[in-house]
Amino acid sequence: MIRSHVLVCGGTGCTSSGSPAIREHLEKELKRQGLDEEIKVVQTGCFGLCALGPIMIVYPDGTFYSRVTEDDVTEIVSEHLLKGRPVERLIYNPKDEDMPHGVTSLSETPFYKAQKRIALRNCGVIDPEQIDEYIAVDGYLALGKVLTEMTPQQVIDLIKASGLRGRGGAGFPTGTKWQFAANNAADEKFVICNADEGDPGAFMDRSVLEGDPHAVLEAMVIAGYAIGGTHGYIYVRAEYPIAVKRLKIAIEQARAYGLLGKNIFGTNFSFDVDIRLGAGAFVCGEETALMTSIEGNRGEPRNKPPFPAVKGLFAKPTIINNVETLANVPQIIVQGPEWFSSMGTDCSKGTKVFALGGKINNTGLVEIPMGTTLRQILFEIGGGIPDGKAFKAAQTGGPSGGCIPAEHLDTPIDYENLKAIGSMMGSGGLIVMDEDNCMVDIARFFLEFTVDESCGKCTPCRIGTRRLLEMLNKIIEGNGTLEDLDKMEELCHYITNNALCGLGQTAPNPVLSTLRYFRDEYVAHVVEKRCPAGVCKKLLHYEIDPNKCTGCTLCARKCPVSCIAGKVKEPHVIDQSKCIKCGACMENCKFGAISKK
Amino acid sequence: MKSLQELAEIRDKMKGKVALREGHNDIRIVVGMATCGIAAGARPVLSTLVEEVEKQGLGSRAIVSQTGCIGICRLEPIVEVFEAGKEKVTYVKMTPEKAKQVVKEHIKGGTPVYEYTIGEK
């Protein structure tokens, strides 16, 4: 008889910090101490607090262990699982919070308290490789209800009423998209799940697929029923091996239960789903390029119109929904559209998952109601900036998005508000930057990415982004002029207006938004030939303060190019013409005599 | 899956098994599982409690958990029942048989088995 469940995170984050070895060790240790009949080990999806992985939760008491190592396992088993004494030193306890240890306090921690988990509701709760566990938490209930009680039009109306919008970035109303496809009669129609998550720093779709793959499958069948679809494809990148594996298991289990295949729930509706692996091209996340790729061709976008709902995959009416969008659908049907639309702002309903990364304490995955401010996400849930540094900007929307400066920290986050301040929702990557980040360098980072990933089909994107990158490099190397800034801005608008697909059209956003909010940094690079954050190497130099230097010779010995000269017990000097700006001297100086300028 | 009935059957069968992870239970049955408790026979008491709670269909209301030494080692095995809004009940010198009775009469029936509590000698 099982008296306790030990949940071990099996998401990609915790897997890379060693959770599989911990699980194995735990199972061995339970057996050794004769507890394997009464304690069950469950591998789950992502808990969200990736910075503190590997993560382990012990139920029924709900004790939350973080940064567990293999060595800790024996102690957890003999102390906590056998004798009931939680291992205090491993319990997650946010510093500034004096919480009673242990019992079900997880949902009370600042990281989880302000969150509202819908798309992530089963991540870290169920074993994603067991369909029965998904069914236990009301899984496939929505599908049953839809197939036996509702007409396709009623399903579409319900999704419309909920106000659900696409979570992939653009925010198109999901119900309306379904309606377009439903209105077009055809012998075959397709449902595609877009799991080609390509933004640097974004990993929410991966986590949903890893933690709750059945929710996505269930939603695809529901979508298929609503539009009169016959087949579904999940387009997922091959770089997500855990997600792919769990999806395959989920599809097999759903087929075995008859939840995919012919005559689902005894009705005359039949629908099946297959996986298509992407090779990791960023452009294949763009819907038309994605379809071209599934068709077996090189992943290049095509013109819209015709829209996919009219002429999509294999020239048949098709809907393409993002993973997170789909993950919301079963819950909306079970709990009702009013429940969903009661959350969020006027035009953006429900919740949004963000992947927190960059200069933030709680790196990880959070799901918050729309309308939450950036300040709440970063400073309450995210735990603020490490080392007491000052916040400079947050980047949303990846290479298609923009930077949000401190003055907009209190903007409630929704699709329209983000657009108004020059960024976009994007798929939900949220990269935080502090005073040590140079905004020109950040713009260059994203431009480098788009130049690499441009498919090359249209000229504005292929050549335009490259020219933009060249101008940024010129500025970073100290050769820029003020005219370059104006030229860059003009080129940005040209690309936005003329590129073929969404990726090209939004590629200049990182440049435009940094120019808008951090023009002073650009000007400092161009006019003063200075990088205020001290990042751009060409514009920096290291100096030794003769008043502080004791002549210990340590810097001269550490310098890899031997450009520091000076006698023992006399101030040293750096030869600027030879210096490669590696910073080794400054790191090693014990007297703080060396500074970066 | 040929009908909603079939789905409901799987769901009902599995619900009790994952309910353990919800942590929002009204009643907590805590067994002292320090060395003293284990030596006095707390292990079979614990497993009996877990079994009985499940058997009586109380899984969504009550959880069984352990704690360390409660301090009165001579009265082990000790079982304490915490219920929101009610005073804690402490059972001493427990056995699997007594545990069965506690689940039936106290957890399910709502009346503590006074003869096993710490106040009765």
Q: Write out the DSSP string of A530-572.
A: --TTS--GGG--EEE-TTT-----HHHHH-TT--EE--TTS--
Subunit contact B4:A62, Cβ cutoff 8 A: no
Every domain of chain A with CATH number 3.40.30.10 lies at 4-108
Residues A375-379: contacts with CB under 8 Å, at least 24 apart: A375/A409, A375/A410, A376/A114, A377/A413, A377/A430, A378/A409, A378/A432
Please report whether residue B7 resides in a domain: no
Q: Which residues of A touch B25 (CB under 8 A)?
A: 60
A134: which 2 tokens?
A: 């998904």
Q: At what angle do helices A482-498 and A509-517 cross, to 10 degrees?
A: 140
| pLDDT, tens digit (0-9, with 9 covering 90-100), for A322-360 | 999 999 999 999 999 999 999 999 999 999 999 999 999
Please give the biggest Cα pair distance in chain A: 91
Question: At CB < 8 Å, which residues of chain A contact B?
Answer: 1-5, 7, 38, 59-62, 82-85, 103-104, 125-126, 132-133, 135-138, 140-141, 144, 148, 257-259, 263-266
**Confidence at A105, pLDDT banded by 50, 70, 90:** low
A550: which 2 tokens?
A: 């004791």
What pLDDT, on a 0 to 100 scale, did the predictor assign at position B18? 79
Min Cα–Cα distance to chain B from A463, Å:
54
Nearest CB neighbour to B51, from listed A1, A135, A144:
A1
What pLDDT, on a 0 to 100 scale, did the predictor assign at position B84? 78
CA torsion sign for A167, A169, A175, A180 is negative
Q: What is the DSSP string of A444-511?
A: HHHHHHHHHH--SSSHIIIIIHHHHHHHHHHHHTT---HHHHHHHHHHHHHHHHH-SSHHHHHTTHHH
What pLDDT, on a 0 to 100 scale, did the predictor assign at position A422? 86
Taking the CA atoms of residue A260, residue A265, residue A268 and residue A273 in that order, the dihedral angle to the nearest 10 degrees is -10
Please report whether residue B104 resides in a domain: yes
Percent of chain A clearing pLDDT 90 (strictly above): 81
For A351-434, give the CATH class: alpha beta
Please report whether residue B9 resides in a domain: no
Nearest CB neighbour to A136, from listed B11, B46, B47:
B11
Reported in sequence order, the residue ranges of A177-285 that DSSP labels E, i.e. its strands, are 190-195, 231-237, 272-278
Q: What is the DSSP letter of A304?
A: S
Amino acid letter, residue A425: M
Other Cβ atoms closer than 10 A to A92: 19
Give the mean model confidence (pLDDT) for residues A534-557.
91
Min Cα–Cα distance to chain B from A170, Å:
35
Q: CA nearest B34 in A: which residue?
A: A83
Tokens 């109303």 appear where? A173
Q: CA nearest B50 in A: which residue?
A: A3
Subunit contact A60:B25, Cβ cutoff 8 A: yes
The answer to whether the CB of A124 falls within 8 A of the CB of A80 is no
Tell me the pLDDT of chain B averaged across its residues: 86
Tokens 């599809």 appear where? A251
For A131-340, give the CATH class: alpha beta
Give the mean model confidence (pLDDT) for residues A554-568.
92
Subunit contact B7:A136, Cβ cutoff 8 A: no
- Measured distance CA(A243)–CA(A9) in Å, rounded: 14
Reported in sequence order, the residue ranges of A287-350 that DSSP labels E, i.e. its strands, are 318-322
Give the mean model confidence (pLDDT) for residues A518-545.
92
Q: CA nearest A265 in B: which residue?
A: B2
Subunit contact B23:A60, Cβ cutoff 8 A: yes
pLDDT surpasses 60 at A408: yes
- Measured distance CA(A110)–CA(A383) in Å, rounded: 8
What is the number of structural domains in chain B? 1
Coil vs helix vs strand at B64: strand
Subunit contact B20:A61, Cβ cutoff 8 A: no
Coil vs helix vs strand at A21: helix
pLDDT surpasses 80 at A109: no
Tell me the pLDDT of chain A averaged across its residues: 92
What pLDDT, on a 0 to 100 scale, did the predictor assign at position B120? 66
Please report whether residue B59 resides in a domain: yes
| pLDDT, tens digit (0-9, with 9 covering 90-100), for B76-118 | 899 999 887 788 899 999 999 999 999 999 998 889 999 999 8
- What are the Cα distances from residue A88, in Å, to A68, A101, A504? 12, 8, 52
CATH number of the domain located at residue range(s) A439-526 in this protein: 1.20.1440.230
| pLDDT, tens digit (0-9, with 9 covering 90-100), for A225-279 | 999 999 999 999 999 999 999 999 999 999 999 999 999 999 999 999 999 999 9
**Confidence at B24, pLDDT banded by 50, 70, 90:** low
- Measured distance CA(A105)–CA(A94) in Å, rounded: 11
Subunit contact A136:B14, Cβ cutoff 8 A: yes
A317 Cβ partners below 8 Å, 6+ apart?
A: A180, A181, A184, A186, A189, A190, A227, A308, A309, A310, A311
CATH number of the domain located at residue range(s) A4-108 in this protein: 3.40.30.10
Q: Which one of 3.30.750.24, 3.30.70.20, 3.40.920.10, 3.90.1150.10 gives the CATH number of domain A541-596?
A: 3.30.70.20
What pLDDT, on a 0 to 100 scale, did the predictor assign at position A102? 42
Q: Which residues of A touch B33 (CB under 8 A)?
A: 82-84
Which CATH number goes with the domain that contains B53? Answer: 3.40.30.10
So what's the ipTM on this one? 0.79
Please state whether the predicted TM-score (pTM) of the whole model is above 0.90.
no
Every domain of chain A with CATH number 3.10.20.600 lies at 351-434
Which H, E and C letters describe A46-67, residue by residue? CCCCHHHCCCEEEECCCEEECC
- Measured distance CA(A511)–CA(A521) in Å, rounded: 12
With CA atoms as reference, report the closest residue to A405 among A383, A436, A374: A374
Range of the domain at B40: 25-116
The residue among B120 and A357 whose pLDDT is bigger is A357
**Confidence at A98, pLDDT banded by 50, 70, 90:** very low
Please report whether residue B46 resides in a domain: yes
Q: CA nearest A127 in B: which residue?
A: B18
What pLDDT, on a 0 to 100 scale, did the predictor assign at position A104? 43
Q: Which residues of A touch B66 (CB under 8 A)?
A: 83-84
What pLDDT, on a 0 to 100 scale, did the predictor assign at position A393? 95
